[in-house]
Chain A
Amino acid sequence: MSTSPRWDESEIIEFVSLVAGGQSYCLEITQIREIRRWSSVTPLPYSERSVLGVMNLRGAVIPIIDLSEKLSLGPTDPTERHVIIVVANKDRTIGLLVDSVSEILTVKGEAIRETPNVKGESSIKAISGLLSIEEEMSRVIDLGALLPGHQDEAA
């Protein structure tokens, strides 16, 4: 299996590992603005199923997306124990609802494997690489592919 072309082999990258829909994922730490507990949101009309609604983040209105649903792993029933990861993606700030956040991983670029093509799985477009962590496999989320920005939509 080849390494993921996205990172240089010698590059040191920090990830935050998390669990969504029962699976292990990770996000580059530089994309994360903050992590907070779930609190109730205001639902939006005519939104996709994965959009839970909007919440107030220090005066800004940010949409909250159910990561599990977005990855086609089924809806999450949010409770006090769930966590929202606030991420900055291009020109938008968005909250991702996940089951939990576990740890910070420091890895070298060469340790990230390229995502193999799995037939019939469209959601893996949002996985930019795979990481092995003590027998476990963690999937690196490609925010740009998961949440297209304004420009992408306009195009």
Chain B
Amino acid sequence: MSESLRDMFFAECEDLLDALSEGLARMGEGTQDGETVNAIFRAVHSIKGAAGAFGLEAIVGFAHSYETVLDRVRSGELEPDAETLRTIIRSSDVLSDLVDAARNDRDDTPEAMGPLLEALTALSAASAHAAPARPAGEAAVFEPMAAMPIAILPIEGQEARFAIDFTPERSLFDNGHDPARLLKALGALGRLDLLCDTAAIPVLGTFDPEEPFLSWRMVLEGDIAEGEIRNVFSFVEGLCRLSVIRLDDDAPAPFDVCAEAPRIAAEEAKPDPVPVPPMPGPDDPGEPGATAARSTPSASAPPPSAAPPAGANSAARPTLRVDPERVDRLINTVGELIINQAVISQRLAALGAEPNSEIMGDLDDYRHLARDIQEGVMAIRAQPVKPLFQRMGRIIREASEALGKDVVMVTEGEGTEVDKTVVERLADPLTHMVRNAVDHGIESIADRRAAGKPDQGTVRLLAAHRSGHVHIEISDDGGGLHRERIFQTAVDKGLIPPDAKLTESEIDNLLFLPGFSTASKISKLSGRGVGMDVVKTAITSLGGRVTIASRPGAGSTFSITLPLTLAVLDGMIVTVAGQTMVLPLHSILETIRPNTRDVRPLGAEGHVLSIRGSYVPIISLAHVLGLSDEPFDPQSCIFVLIRTEGSSPVSLAVDSISDQRQVVIKSLEGNYGTIPGISAATILGDGKIALIVDTDTVVVLAAQNPSIQMFRNKDESHEHLAALG
């Protein structure tokens, strides 16, 4: 299936816009070099070129004004001051919006476009008055092209005769023209009689094969306009002597026909006796020989040694473009392979194979190989977070501008590679968090001054690989979370009782409760009807976790931990109310088979587990998930101690634990939808489906419904949850 050109265009625009914002970020930091500006210019230029091919006039028009200014910067004619730089950066946002609008077939224009166009025009017009620092470059001239410059004009039946004299100059051959082809094109216009004048050919001894000696005199007859003839010669204007004269109808032909083939000077003019400096090696376009070899030096041409400086990472790295569907299919197949390994392993164990027998050893090798393949396939999908971070730069710019704050973005570890899907699905939650950081985190300039901080606030984005996970941090140097206010909001919204005793971390985590951030204290920016609970849901659905750390007066840090891949999960296989389920290993602290006296009732229906002197609440997984109608009997259970969003762990009661292994994650969302307490499903060795428990939401579900008995009636519980959502 071939990608449509349109899709290809928009995919390319994405890449170019990424390259653009990358270059602009460097300019912003002041770490650019000559190639940076070149790359920026080219990105805009390429978008314009391809957009033109699709008739996207709005993009072409804007990109043209944009590019004109960039060209001036590139040529050193315009030294960008802070204001110019701001215009250039904001233009990239508008260009991105225009591309977006075109992709969605909208023709609305971004609000900022009008003023920016004026600013760009002013910046490019400045050159018109200043001394022309360089000959009019190609970018300074722009005619919206309807079609080819060599359009063939339609002619109404007008019989005409023309006398044409044509004498090629040497430059005509140098530019790759062949008189024979021109004559053939003339012949195609009408009846052509021609005479080749060979009189100028010298004696052999003085013959210079590089010099043309032939000329042609022709008569062309037919329904022809002079323009058509001129058209044929349009490319060779200035490379030959040409005269085209319309003859009167009765005028005699000016010569007799000569049928000699007029090719002598064109291609047979070899060998080449003129010493020509060696062509620069293809790998080394910067070799000085390239300049020396120029037949017609032109002042305006840039030196061909435009190779990027060493270390410029914009240099093309050979890459392979693969249809993502193919990679996904491969990932799925590898997933099946791992399941298949589990099946075989189970079967062999059932047949009585010893764990350390030879066949089990072979199977272990098989498992290692499968994992290796899996890692390799996953690596294909890995992408650096850089473009994502760059997009956040724009969010910060816009947000700080709208709020009258001065905020700079600092990034770290932007080369960290993450699964493509993760990068894509992180965009929304990250946008929200970054906006929040600018809006609620960074104080107003006045407040910052009062606190003895610099006017400019900083939002820091960090990405890193840590112990098999991807770690992403969004931190600000703002005022930190207002715990009293958060607590009060949660009480006002009925999320917690007014007398609740919460640790600082537990208060911070109230932000993630569904229904916490609703209309009342939403500013125009962070609002948009989504709260941090949506952020949390998005990250949880990626198999990740998000936590907050905050210090009053010093700022807040949101930490996101994500699995390296979305396709597999290290899980613990448990049985809950007769059903096989999977608990994600990363959330498990330990498993406990308690003594009778370690389990104590607390309140009417609650229980706590005593571990090493502290008491941990017990949650019956079967009851929270509405899988059991039986009264909860903690004595027959095994407990899995899990970490939670806040600090204190919780113990989940399950019937039994059977295994610990990697499972392939199958989304439920595609065909069904989200399920409270469940993040996804997997297919076990026996072909049955097991649900993967979302431990964080299970804790929230249990916390919101202290009496887990409420979940006994299936339908009632459903309604209850719907009300919560």
Q: Which A residues form the contact surface with B (CB < 8 A)? A: 40-49, 51, 54-56, 59-63, 91-94, 150, 153
B432 within 8 A of A: no
Q: When the two chains form their complex, are residues B672 and A56 in contact, meaning their CB atoms are under 8 A apart?
A: no
Q: Can you name the residue of chain A whose Cβ is closest to the Cβ of B686?
A: A56
Pick from B336, B681, B715: contact of A42, CB under 8 Å: B681
Chain B stretch 627-683: residues in CB contact (< 8 A) with chain A? 627, 666-668, 670-673, 675-678, 681, 683
Q: Can you name the residue of chain B whose Cβ is closest to the Cβ of A59?
A: B336
A92–B667 Cα distance when bound, in Å, is 12
Complex interface: chain A residues within 8 A of B243 (CB): none
Q: Can you name the residue of chain B whose Cβ is closest to the Cβ of A94?
A: B671
- The stretch of B153-161, B287-295, B529-537, B688-696 in contact with A is B688-696
A140–B355 Cα distance when bound, in Å, is 57
B617 within 8 A of A: no
Q: When the two chains form their complex, are residues A92 and B688 in contact, meaning their CB atoms are under 8 A apart?
A: no
B626 within 8 A of A: yes
Q: When the two chains form their complex, are residues B668 and A61 in contact, meaning their CB atoms are under 8 A apart?
A: yes
Most chain B beta-carbon contacts within 10 A, residue among A42, A55, A62: A42
Interface CB pairs A-B, < 8 A, 17: A44-B691, A45-B691, A46-B676, A46-B714, A48-B718, A49-B715, A54-B672, A54-B681, A55-B689, A59-B335, A59-B336, A59-B666, A61-B671, A63-B672, A91-B670, A92-B672, A94-B671
Instruction: Give B709 Cβ to nearest chain A Cβ, in Å.
Output: 16
Given contacts A46-B677, A47-B675, A153-B673, contact A59 B332 (CB under 8 A): yes
Q: When the two chains form their complex, are residues B683 and A61 in contact, meaning their CB atoms are under 8 A apart?
A: yes
**What is the total of A-B residue contacts with beta carbons within 8 Å?**
73
A42–B579 Cα distance when bound, in Å, is 8
Complex interface: chain B residues within 8 A of A62 (CB): 671
Q: When the two chains form their complex, are residues B689 and A42 in contact, meaning their CB atoms are under 8 A apart?
A: yes
Complex interface: chain A residues within 8 A of B149 (CB): none
Complex interface: chain A residues within 8 A of B717 (CB): 46
B281 within 8 A of A: no
Q: Can you name the residue of chain A whose Cβ is closest to the Cβ of B691?
A: A42
Q: When the two chains form their complex, are residues A92 and B671 in contact, meaning their CB atoms are under 8 A apart?
A: yes
Q: Can you name the residue of chain B whose Cβ is closest to the Cβ of A44?
A: B675
B625 within 8 A of A: yes
Q: When the two chains form their complex, are residues B681 and A61 in contact, meaning their CB atoms are under 8 A apart?
A: yes
Given contacts A45-B625, A63-B671, contact A56 B688 (CB under 8 A): yes
Chain B stretch 84-139: residues in CB contact (< 8 A) with chain A? none
A13–B494 Cα distance when bound, in Å, is 56
Q: When the two chains form their complex, are residues A56 and B677 in contact, meaning their CB atoms are under 8 A apart?
A: no
Q: When the two chains form their complex, are residues A45 and B677 in contact, meaning their CB atoms are under 8 A apart?
A: yes
When each residue 387-427 of chain B gets 1 if its CB lies under 8 Å from chain A and 0 otherwise, what string results? 00000000000000000000000000000000000000000
Count B-side interface residues using an 8 Å CB cutoff: 30
B721 within 8 A of A: yes
Pick from B332, B336, B676: contact of A45, CB under 8 Å: B676
Pick from B335, B677, B689, B715: contact of A54, CB under 8 Å: B689
B30 within 8 A of A: no
B603 within 8 A of A: no
Q: Can you name the residue of chain B whose Cβ is closest to the Cβ of A89?
A: B671
B275 within 8 A of A: no
Which 10 residue pairs are nearest across A and B when measured between Cβ atoms?
A45-B625, A42-B689, A63-B672, A61-B666, A92-B671, A61-B681, A56-B683, A46-B718, A45-B626, A62-B671
Q: Can you name the residue of chain A whose Cβ is closest to the Cβ of B621?
A: A45
B297 within 8 A of A: no
Q: When the two chains form their complex, are residues B671 and A42 in contact, meaning their CB atoms are under 8 A apart?
A: no
A92–B669 Cα distance when bound, in Å, is 9
Complex interface: chain B residues within 8 A of A47 (CB): 675, 718
Complex interface: chain A residues within 8 A of B673 (CB): 150, 153
Given contacts A45-B627, A46-B676, contact A93 B671 (CB under 8 A): yes
B687 within 8 A of A: yes
Instruction: Give A152 Cβ to nearest chain B Cβ, in Å.
Output: 12
Instruction: Give A144 Cβ to nearest chain B Cβ, in Å.
Output: 16
Most chain B beta-carbon contacts within 10 A, residue among A47, A51, A55: A47
Instruction: Give A85 Cβ to nearest chain B Cβ, in Å.
Output: 15
Q: When the two chains form their complex, are residues B688 and A42 in contact, meaning their CB atoms are under 8 A apart?
A: yes
Complex interface: chain A residues within 8 A of B332 (CB): 59
Chain B stretch 414-455: residues in CB contact (< 8 A) with chain A? none
